[in-house]
Structure 1
Amino acid sequence: MELYFLGTGAGMPSKQRNVTSIALNLLDERGTYWLFDCGEGTQHQIMHSPVKLGRTEILFVTHLHGDHLYGLPGLLTSRSYVGGDTPLKMFGPKGLKRFVETALEVSGAHLGYTLTIEELDEEGVIFEDDKFIVETARLEHRIECFGYRITEKDLPGKLMMDKLKELGVPAGPLYGKLKQGEQVELPDGRKLDGQDFVGAPLPGRVVVILGDTRYCEGAKRLARGADVLVHEATFSQAKQDLAYAFDHATSIDAARVAEEAGAKSLIMTHLSSRYQGDDVEELLLEAKAIHGDSYIAKDLWSFEIHRKMS
């Protein structure tokens, strides 16, 4: 599991940072990518990255400001041309469906795959399968905006092979049944309970990706105990008044959310173009003073989320 930052700027693209988009690499877990937001130029950024557009499975939109969705029409149509023939699902605020359908209709675009768009009405669980749960909560921004919490379900513990070998249990189908926690009977009549031969479950990882927001309770609720929190940091603390006026966060706001929520790693993104060179380091130092495990994302940078070992 790995985060790949396709665009890390705020408002409009600059020479150093494109507008917002993040890919979650789930190739090892499910053979796909999930995308979060799709600012203008996202498909161009993908061409300079290892991300495979044809293998995207779900696209989550946090809100409908242009720097988070103007890249959608081009990306959706290009997906057909790079082998993307599997269904694609999108989640986002009300109005997302109208925006996408209008753009595709007016341009006469044809998609070679099934596109499903689900607009969000309520907070809570919006997706669940045997491997992942995705929850959402409202944030505080000028328009309706959501954050997403991606929780990987715990993996079954490892089979205690050495213990079974000591007991003389022959390798084969019996091992598979024991790993499933079933009870088995050996050829010599002994009965074994799989629960006695499987280690503790391996805890799943939690990644939280927020849209644009002030410091708020919704962000803290989603970020609770996360392995990684991705939070906007549009401004430095010196611009706190400006951040509040435009419903954005400072680096210190982001660090406060991470620290108060007990998140392990904080990654700041959505930086104003006024911060270049040493100014970016200033943002990082502000955050680290509150939450030591903090980073600032840059375009085409990745961050691996390691599995916790119980």
Structure 2
Amino acid sequence: MKLTFLGTSAGSPTAERNVSSVMLDLRQERGRLWLFDSGEATQMQMQKANFSLAKLEMIFLTHLHGDHLFGLPGVLTTRSLMQKQSALTLVGPKGIKQFIQTVIEISSSWLTYPLNIIELEQDSLVFEDNKFRVEAKLLQHRVPCFGYRIVEKDLPPSLDIDKLQQDNINPGVHYAVLKEGLTVTLEDGRTIDGKDYQGDIKRGKKVAILGDTIPCQASIDLAENVDLLVHEATQEQAFEAKAIERGHSTTIHAANIAKQAKAKRLIITHISPRYSIQDNQKLVNEARRVFANTEIATDFASFQV
């Protein structure tokens, strides 16, 4: 599981940063890509990062401000130019269905694949299968805005084959029973407890990707004990009043959320255009005073979870 930032600027693009978009690369886990937000020029950023539109399975929007949304029509319609595209699920706040329908109609565009749209109005479980679970919670911004918690489910324990062979328990149909932790009686009369031959459970990874927000309890809940938290840090702490007035957080706010949630790692993004790349060290150092394991995202930076 890997995160790649396709855009890290707040509000408008700069010469150094595109606007908000981040790709969760699940090609190793499920052969697919999940996109979070789709600011202007997201499809161009995907091409530069070598992400195929054909691999997109889910798109999650945090909110409907343009710097998180205006690249979506291009992503959807360009995907229709490719033959035999798989179905795509789009999750976002109420209003996203009207937006897509209006853009498609007015631009005389079309979609050649099934698009399943899930509109959010409250905290919801938005996706679950046998491998992953995605939960959405309403944050505190100037418009309805959601954060997402992505949980990879634990894998069952594997069999300790070496120990089985050491105890002269040869491969056979009973291996499947032992793997479940059950008891079997062998041909030689021995009774074997599968729990004695189970390895460790492989714990799944947990990631929280939050939209624009002032500090709130929902952020802490979503980020609880995650391996990696993505949190906006639009301003440095000196501009706290301005950040709060506009529904945003500072470097210190993001660090405090990570600390309170007991997250393992924090990536700050959604950086105001007032800051250049040369300001990155100042911003990340400010956050590290509160939460040491903080990094700052730049466009095309990747982070292994």
Same fold (TM over 0.5): yes
In 1, are the aligned partners of 2:133 and 2:151 still within 8 Å (CA)? yes
Q: CA deviation at 1:290?
A: 0.5
Work out whether 1:150 is the aligned partner of 2:146. no
Tell me, what secondary structure is at the counterpart of 1:229? strand
Runs of 4+ in 1 over 6 A off after TM superposition: none
Q: CA deviation at 1:84?
A: 6.2
Q: CA deviation at 1:27?
A: 1.0
Tell me, what secondary structure is at the counterpart of 2:240? helix
> CA separation of 1:83/1:14 partners in 2, compared to 1, >3 Å: closer, same or farther?
farther
Tell me, what secondary structure is at the counterpart of 2:178? helix
Q: Which amino acid aligns with 1:54?
A: A
5 Å matches for 1:220-239?
A: 220-239=220-239
In 1, are the aligned partners of 2:11 and 2:67 still within 8 Å (CA)? yes
Aligned pair count?
305
* 184-193 or 114-123, larger mean C-alpha shift: 184-193
Q: For structure 2, list consecutive stretches of 5 or more residues without a partner in the other structure.
A: none
Q: CA deviation at 1:207?
A: 0.2
Query: How far apart, in 2, do the equivalents of 1:172 and 1:245 lie?
Result: 66
Q: Which amino acid aligns with 2:77?
A: T
Partner of 2:124: 124
Alignment TM-score, normalising by the size of structure 2: 0.96
Q: CA deviation at 1:52?
A: 1.9
Partner of 1:296: 296
In 2, are the aligned partners of 1:53 and 1:84 still within 8 Å (CA)? no
5 Å matches for 1:45-84?
A: 45-83=45-83
In 2, are the aligned partners of 1:8 and 1:19 still within 8 Å (CA)? yes
Q: CA deviation at 1:177?
A: 3.4
Query: How far apart, in 2, do the equivalents of 1:88 and 1:173 lie?
Result: 40
Partner of 1:16: 16
5 Å matches for 1:102-121?
A: 102-121=102-121
Partner of 1:4: 4
Query: How far apart, in 1, do the equivalents of 2:197 and 2:59 lie?
Result: 40
Partner of 1:165: 165
Q: Which amino acid aligns with 2:6?
A: L
Alignment TM-score, normalising by the size of structure 1: 0.95
- RMSD of aligned residue pairs (Cα, Å): 1.4
Partner of 2:241: 241
Tell me, what secondary structure is at the counterpart of 1:81? coil
Query: How far apart, in 1, do the equivalents of 2:256 and 2:4 lie?
Result: 24
* 238-247 or 123-132, larger mean C-alpha shift: 123-132
> CA separation of 1:88/1:190 partners in 2, compared to 1, >3 Å: closer, same or farther?
same
Query: How far apart, in 2, do the equivalents of 1:184 and 1:17 lie?
Result: 60
Partner of 2:89: 89
Q: Which amino acid aligns with 1:145?
A: C
Partner of 2:140: 140
Q: CA deviation at 1:280?
A: 1.9
Query: How far apart, in 1, do the equivalents of 2:54 and 2:181 lie?
Result: 38
Partner of 1:253: 253
Tell me, what secondary structure is at the counterpart of 2:80? helix
Q: For structure 1, list consecutive stretches of 5 or more residues without a partner in the other structure.
A: 306-310
> CA separation of 1:207/1:84 partners in 2, compared to 1, >3 Å: closer, same or farther?
farther
Tell me, what secondary structure is at the counterpart of 1:292? coil
* 64-73 or 78-87, larger mean C-alpha shift: 78-87
In 2, are the aligned partners of 1:55 and 1:84 still within 8 Å (CA)? no
Q: CA deviation at 1:81?
A: 2.8
Q: Which amino acid aligns with 2:101?
A: E
Q: Deviations over 1:1-44 (max 9, x none)?
A: 00010111010111100000011011111110111000010000
Query: How far apart, in 2, do the equivalents of 1:277 and 1:138 lie?
Result: 31
